[in-house]
Chain A
Amino acid sequence: MAETMKMRATMEGDVADVKVLIQHPMDTGLMKDKKTDKLIPAHFINQVVATLNGKTVLESQWGVGIAKNPFIGFRIKGAKAGDKVAVNAVDNLGTKFDGEVVVS
């Protein structure tokens, strides 16, 4: 589902600046549907892992407090242009999201 994840990685000195945008509702499970007056079930990304050339650089766990269509930015020291940054995410319903970008 690459179309739901947008990534960019650019070198700034010896550090790769990585930005990731994922399309996801991030429903908290606490809000009501205005039409039906029923609670919208919780539906949120809860784990995100980033790798540089296959090596894990960032492991994160998210709760419902991350905003809708999540954005995450992080920096990897020692990366260089041409390196591959990949992000794997999964939500609480087991749907997986992944993206990959070449550092430029």
Chain B
Amino acid sequence: MTTEFYRWTENSWKSPDIDWRKGQTVTCGIDVGSVSSQAVILVDDKIYAFCNTRTGSNSPDSANKALSISLKDTGMKPEDIQFIVGTGYGRVNIPMAKKAITEIACHARGANYMGGPTVKTILDMGGQDLKGIHCDEKGKVTQFLMNDKCAAGTGRGMEVMAELLQVPIVDVGKMSLDVKDEPEPVSSTCVIFAKSEAIGLLRSGWTKNMVLAAYCSAMAHRVVGLLERIGVEKEFVITGGIAKNIGVVSRIEKELGLKVKPLSPDPQIAGGLGAAIFARDLLLKSRKAA
């Protein structure tokens, strides 16, 4: 079998302490992105389980897959979930969701939950999108900015580079920092051109680490350009898969002169988590009305 270097680690988690049967509310958020899909289950206002998996060829299957992985070994069935909200690129195609909410609103809400009320600026680095979001202390969006449809600065762009250099994507960040001097960045405007540049650099004797450093810094530069248009207020967090790439994150920090507040349990679930919180709000509202 050939190695697929672009493949990042799929993960799932389940709380050992919560008995979901005792919860007042059981809600779920499903985020079907262009590259990855997440399902997050909330019992009351606590994260009970989540998973992070690769998006397949269609949204309904990807949503189902994410949901069934997060339900694994919980004894919970899909019908035990009282409200599901869909979000992300494929949100209108999630059959079990009662409502679809934009990923911008969900990312802000999820980041607010994980990072706390002091979070003011969110950078979502997704598979195909790049978004700068401002929110208030409740996680409500006050302003946002998106990139044009361009792979530069996105997760998909990083996957292309990992494949080209035959480096497992999870190692990219660490390797890119293992260089003696920081090289000049490659083209930050087009991944296709950055790819040709990278091939040329390898030919001229650059190590893979140096090329990765040049690519990570081009990516950071591109992202900072977008962020500067919206402005960065503290505290600043990064959501999405690239948040796990230390090579890109540390270069963004350096260029902005600002530390990124880490998000736990997982920056990649911010959208799904936000959707699950919205689902809980909607459920409580409907119960009140009834």
Q: Do A and B come from one complex?
A: no
Which A residues are closer than 8 A to B by beta carbons? none
